[in-house]
Structure 1
């Protein structure tokens, strides 16, 4: 199979050099659709972005490791993600999407395949909150595996969901800085609620998704990310979100790499964000 890598022609080299072991803790693989079909009830249909495209991007950026997050367009069919992990198990880990039909054997298979967490979407454009009975049953199942749960939230929902989130009995990760709007600045209620969650011992935050809350060069997103890194330096993660599903504009990942010193302002903070934290959580 010939993989189209021409997208790299529109990507510049980042100015920031990433440290050895740098991890993209939030990225996706899509398809190829003729091998790994998209879910019939999907809310969007992406362009194919198979494992070869992801690896080529990471080699271009200087990324050493990655966490493949299952995207809703593939639903609970995690095969494309597992196939990517299997291509280089030392380099990749995964986060799955599951439902109430998954058996203990299914979870064992995912664990053996390098999966270390489950993801639930609460965002409205992807269908809104999940069935909370299923959500809690899955939480009960995966906490014994040492997994975590990834929460994809809309900013207006952070406050009303904070009570439930704060009671979760396992580590949880908030995706994309909670999608708090960069235009609203650092004095906004969703960010204050997110900071409060970040102080919990089992809370992790991904300072990714600048391209979801801002426009290039994403300068207004940087102060938000910096606050979250400073509040929670040992439980923050960074990612590219490649290939940026449902994006409003084409994103050059080099811009995201070059923002890192504005999030984590010294070498120690960058080492934690990019290397130490993901290694501890995902067992790299």
Structure 2
């Protein structure tokens, strides 16, 4: 038995997700998911803010096949810190069907970056959600961004919408492609054409190196699963229709640190026609864009 016991208020990922009614197009990519542990093999970081249950690569592959995806982009989660061994293990076992986004420290060597690249890492993630980190990574991001540029990697940033005004100038000065997690977590109680979301749309419109994931309605919705997270749809659809060549989507399995409810991954897939209403939008969101960003080589 693992010595790592999941937080008592942290829900286990869904054990029997529904089969999606929406048939994913052949080649679809789940462009935001995670692997956790197993903790006995890949210990969680001492500085973590939560302890998850195990969610192995084999369980991720099983979900991929069940939902109808062809490939995955695995994102390093904060519970593993900058120890990317679980991520690299999954990438090496994926037979080329997965790429990764790592977490690195300023002390990372060129040889370590090259080894991550060889395993399939194509980006580095930085967390600006204040409740999940001890300090915002301004200095390390600036230094690492210049080092990964030559590898052709991008930066993934995770922040909440109310923080964007103070982060805007820093983000727009970054020298690489930048991918925003979950639309910057907009406040969906505010209007789509309100000032807060307008600033996010301005960031996307005026900076062509910026991309956005239109994922994680379960974290953004106020209405919740009983109403199908429908309050998130106008925001995601606005981003897809405004920037069709710079959007990505993923399940976020196994849904780290969820406490109010655990989403049904099949029902999340069934939201895709609502946010990407045409076959062209769906192809770009699920196939063309992630392929261009993660499998360009």
TM-score by length of 1: 0.95
**In 2, Cα distance between the equivalents of 1:31 and 1:179?**
26
Q: Tell me the residue number matched to 1:42.
A: 48
**In 2, Cα distance between the equivalents of 1:257 and 1:128?**
34
Corresponding position: 1:278 with 2:284: no
Corresponding position: 1:135 with 2:147: no
Instruction: Give 1:7 deviation, angstroms.
Output: 6.2
**In 1, Cα distance between the equivalents of 2:136 and 2:14?**
36
- Asked whether the equivalents of residues 89 and 114 of structure 1 are also in contact (C-alpha less than 8 Å), the reply is no
Task: Please give the per-residue CA displacement for 1:215-242, whole angstroms capped at 9, x wherever unaligned.
Answer: 1111001110001111110010000000
Instruction: Give 1:8 deviation, angstroms.
Output: 6.1
Q: Tell me the residue number matched to 1:237.
A: 248
Q: Tell me the residue number matched to 2:79.
A: 73
Q: Tell me the residue number matched to 2:9.
A: none
Task: Please give the per-residue CA displacement for 1:138-196, whole angstroms capped at 9, x wherever unaligned.
Answer: 00100111000000001111122111111211100000111112222313333111111
5+ long unaligned stretches in structure 2 = 2-11
- Asked whether the equivalents of residues 27 and 287 of structure 2 are also in contact (C-alpha less than 8 Å), the reply is yes
Corresponding position: 1:250 with 2:266: no
**In 2, Cα distance between the equivalents of 1:185 and 1:220?**
10
Question: Relative CO higher for 1 or 2, CA cutoff 8 Å, sep ≥ 6?
Answer: 2
SS in 2 for 1:182: coil
Corresponding position: 1:151 with 2:157: yes
- Asked whether the equivalents of residues 13 and 262 of structure 2 are also in contact (C-alpha less than 8 Å), the reply is no
Instruction: Give 1:128 deviation, angstroms.
Output: 5.8
Instruction: Give 1:62 deviation, angstroms.
Output: 0.2
- Asked whether the equivalents of residues 121 and 128 of structure 1 are also in contact (C-alpha less than 8 Å), the reply is no
Corresponding position: 1:267 with 2:268: no
Corresponding position: 1:195 with 2:201: yes
1:270–1:128: structure 2 CA closer, same or farther, 3 Å change rule?
farther
* RMSD across aligned positions (CA): 1.6
2:214 to 207, 211, 235: 207
Q: Which runs of 4+ in 1 moved over 3 A?
A: 6-9
- Asked whether the equivalents of residues 14 and 264 of structure 2 are also in contact (C-alpha less than 8 Å), the reply is no
Q: Tell me the residue number matched to 1:19.
A: 25
**In 2, Cα distance between the equivalents of 1:175 and 1:110?**
21
TM-score by length of 2: 0.91
Number of residue pairs matched by the alignment: 280
1:224 to 199, 217, 235: 235
**In 2, Cα distance between the equivalents of 1:7 and 1:106?**
32
